[in-house]
Structure 1
């Protein structure tokens, strides 16, 4: 299945020498978040890291791995501010 994807909160964990991120898959109006990680040097190419993290999230979704999945609220186009 094709998903629109977002890689958010990408950080490098120096202690574990890995990149960590929340990958969000957009599916039929839902936003599904999957925590992901990739062991790689800090000098790794961003595109390669992001692509690998997205693949990891898609595999978890295809395998119905739900224990670490979060269902996120839909994004709204308007932001309301209380007066």
Structure 2
């Protein structure tokens, strides 16, 4: 007997043969973990950036000004009102 077959006889349990099915269980869990990270990353990158900034009232006001919904004078006026309310 070669050294490899002796080592296999001492490690293997009598009457039990694992075969290729033994590798499918770790591969399955590896696939589950990888898919979790792939989907989590895709969901993370699809969120609008306003959610990460904490788009409060000033964030909404900035976005409206950037889209051209309000002009500069209205933006500044509303910004002053918001900041005055925050100081109270």
TM-score range, shorter chain: under 0.3
Which one has a larger percent strand, Structure 1 or Structure 2?
1
TM-score (norm 2): 0.23
Which one has a larger percent helix, Structure 1 or Structure 2?
2
TM-score (norm 1): 0.24
With CA pairs under 8 Å and 6+ residues apart, which has the higher RCO, 1 or 2?
Answer: 1
